[in-house]
Amino acid sequence: MEFFQLEYFLAVEKYQSFSSAAMEICVSQSTLSQQIKKLEEELGVMLFVRGPRSVELTAAGRDFSAYAKRILAEIQRSREAMHQYTTYSKGDIAVGAIPTSGYLGFHKIIVRFMKAYPGIRLRIHEANTDDLLQGLQAHKIHVAFITSPFHTEADIDFYPLVSDQVGVLISRKHAQATAQVVDLADLAQEPFLMIKSSSGYREVLIRACHEAGFEPRIILESSHVEMLRAFVDEGVGVALMGLRIGRCLESSSTRVLPLQQLVERQNGLAVLRYRRIPLSVRLFRDFALKHSYATSFLDE
């Protein structure tokens, strides 16, 4: 059975005439008759009762008509859906991003998506993980690049994209600056500058300090790592952060070192669990996963 045979069949049903149907679909009447006959032979039933001036559906033809219309409608819907993937010309998506997204390479995903789908209106909202999760739950944003672990009551699908080990950013004048690795316990007396990313991640860092035998004295919390570096530059304190971010912040005045303790941080894409995920959200999610998993451009 061919799709065009279904179209031929529905044309004959519509006009109740082979000649009129042939004119409508721009084929010869003999070709149309032959194809309907082939269809009937394949199905093993007569679809039409041929009269001298018109044709009518048989009982089998009436049943077949419902199936033919449904099949062609599904084919058309599938074509329209796939067309949106290749030539997406409409849509709106709000993307949440933690302030360190640029250091983690997430901005590259956003930029490439915008170039690949210029018809989609993309809005970017910067906030810490906790606020972004609230935005997802309130449907103010559709997807978000966040830090794990995190706390939320929302139904969230989290896709890890970047794993990192936590290190410490210190002044090059610090006593530990020449070390290759730092024991967290040796920093017990230091003022701590804490990155304000997610409450869950903050708990991980504080728990690591507790396990090293001390309560961290936190004098500053900020979502902006550049501010933390500025204070480290001045020797005010030390800052715990992912090594990937720390290496981007190293300067003539600061150095990032791995910790002797293994403390990990994961960053990735969070998507609210929809009953039926919107096409633009599915498109962005699949694009982000494809480019981050299949290539190494996040590390470029």
pLDDT digits (tens, 9 = 90+) for 141-197: 999 999 988 888 778 899 999 999 999 999 999 999 999 999 999 999 999 999 888
CATH fold of the domain at 164-265: D-Maltodextrin-Binding Protein; domain 2 (3.40.190)
Fold match, 3-86 / 164-265: no
Residue 232: closest CA among 215, 246, 212, 243 = 246
CATH of domain 92-160+266-299: 3.40.190.10
Specify whether domain 3-86 bears CATH 1.20.120.1760.
no
Residue 3: closest CA among 70, 100, 92 = 70
pLDDT at 244: 93
Which residue is it, tokens 């084929």?
Answer: 27
Q: Do 100 and 146 form a contact (C-beta atoms < 8 A)?
A: no
Query: Domain residue spans in the chain?
Result: 3-86, 92-160+266-299, 164-265
For residues 193-202, b (16+ Cβ closer than 10 Å) or e, as one string? Answer: bbbbbbebbb
* Residue segments in the chain with a per-residue pLDDT below the cut of 50: 295
pLDDT at 297: 54
Provide the CA 201 distance to its chain's centre, in angstroms. 22
